[in-house]
Amino acid sequence: MSSARRIGGGSRAGESPRAGAKGLLLYALPLPLLVVCMLALARGEVVPALALGAAFGVCLVAANLTRRGIRIEQAALRRKIVRRASVIPYKSVGAALTAAGIFLAGWLGSGYGIIESVMFAGLAALGHHWRYGHDPARRAQDLGAVGVTAEEVLDVLNEAEERIESIEAVAATFKNASLRGRLQHIASEARNILSIIEEDPRDLRRARKFLKVYLDGAQQVTQGYARATSLAGGDALALSDNFSRVLDTIESVLEEQRVKLLENDLNDLDIKIEVLQLQLEKEGVA
C-alpha cells in the first residue's frame, strides 16, 4: 500500500476543512480597543488614538491568520495525506501579532510603561498559545515512487468532496425519501472510493477520470432533476423514472469500481464511463 500516514485523530475523511467557531473570540477581544480609541479621539488625544486604532487593526490581522492556521491544522488532521508545510506558520505569526497589538495598546495607547506593556504582551502570547496551540509539523509524503504528489492527491480528493457535498445538499431538498436515500448511498460509496485512494495513491491516476465523470454526472443529474421537477407538472413521474435509471447506473458502477480499486483492476473503466455519458444525454435529466 501507500506511504500515506494518518496525522493525529480528526473527523471523518469526508468532512471539509472548516475552522468552525474556533478562533472567533479573537475578533471580539480587540473591540474594547476600538471603543477606547474613539474616546481618545473625542478627547483630542491623537497619539493614543492612533496607537489604539493600530493595535485594533493588528489584532484583527492576527485573528485572520490564526483562523487560517486553524483551518490548515484541521485539514492535516482529517486527511491521511497532507500538503507540504506552508512557509508561513500562521498561528505563530497570529500569536506574535496579538502580542504586538497588546504591547502597542498598553504602551502608546494607555500610558503603561514598557515593562508593564511587555508583560501584557507576553500574557497575550501565552494565552494565544494555550488556547490555539502551535502550527502542526506538516511534511508531505514522498509519493514520487507512485507517480503523483501529495498536492495532486489532495486536489482530486477535495474536488470530489465538493461534488459529493453538492449532491447531498440538493438531495436534502427532495420530498421523495427513496431518492434521498439513494443519493445518500451514492455519496457514501463515493467517499469509500476516496478513502481507498487515500490509502493507496497509486489508484489516483486510474480513478481520476472515473471520479470526475461519475461525480460530475451524479451532480448534474441531481441538480437537473431538482430544476426540472419544479417546472414539470404532469411530467414529473417520467422525469423520476429517467432519474431513477441514471441512479441505477451510477450506484452499480460505483460499487463495481470500488471493488476494482481494491483488486487493482480498472481495465474496463473507460467503457463504463462512455456508457454513463451516453445515458446522461439519452435520459435528458441533466
The 10s digit of each residue's pLDDT in 33-82 is 999 999 999 999 999 999 999 999 999 999 999 998 888 777 666 666 65
- Euclidean distance between the first and the last CA atom of the chain, given in angstroms as a whole number: 37
Coil, helix or strand at residue 274: helix
Query: For the segment 155-210, what is each residue's pLDDT rounded down to a tens digit?
Result: 888 888 889 999 999 988 888 888 889 899 889 888 888 888 877 777 676 677 77
Domain-by-domain residue ranges, the chain? 25-132, 145-283
pLDDT tens track for 128-167: 999 998 876 655 555 554 566 777 777 888 888 889 999 9
> pLDDT higher for 211 or 92?
92
**Distant-in-sequence, close-in-space partners of 206: CB < 8 Å, separation ≥ 6:** 261, 266, 269
Angle between helical axes of 177-199 and 236-262 (0-180°, round to 10): 20
Higher-confidence residue: 76 or 5? 76
pTM of the model: 0.55
More confident position, 11 or 82: 82
Neighbours of 210 (CB within 10 A): 22
H/E segment holding residue 91: helix 90-104
Determine the pLDDT at residue 17: 46
pLDDT of 238 over the 50 cut: yes
Q: Say how far apart CA 198 and CA 1 lie, in whole Å.
A: 10
- pLDDT band of residue 272 (cuts 50, 70, 90) is low
pLDDT of amino acid 137: 62
The residue with greater pLDDT, 131 or 83, is 131
**Residues contacting residue 125 through CB under 8 Å, at least 6 positions apart:** 95, 96, 98, 99
Q: Which residue has the higher pLDDT, 204 or 85?
A: 204
Given a contact cutoff of 8 angstroms between Cβ atoms, the answer to whether 142 and 82 are in contact is no
Q: For residues 221-243, give the mean pLDDT.
A: 72
The pLDDT of residue 164 is 92
pLDDT over 70 at 24, yes or no: yes
Does pLDDT of 117 surpass 90? yes
What percentage of the chain has pLDDT greater than the value 90?
Answer: 29
pLDDT of residue 13: 36
Nearest Cα residue to 86 out of 96, 78, 75? 75
Q: How confident is the model at residue 168, as a pLDDT?
A: 92
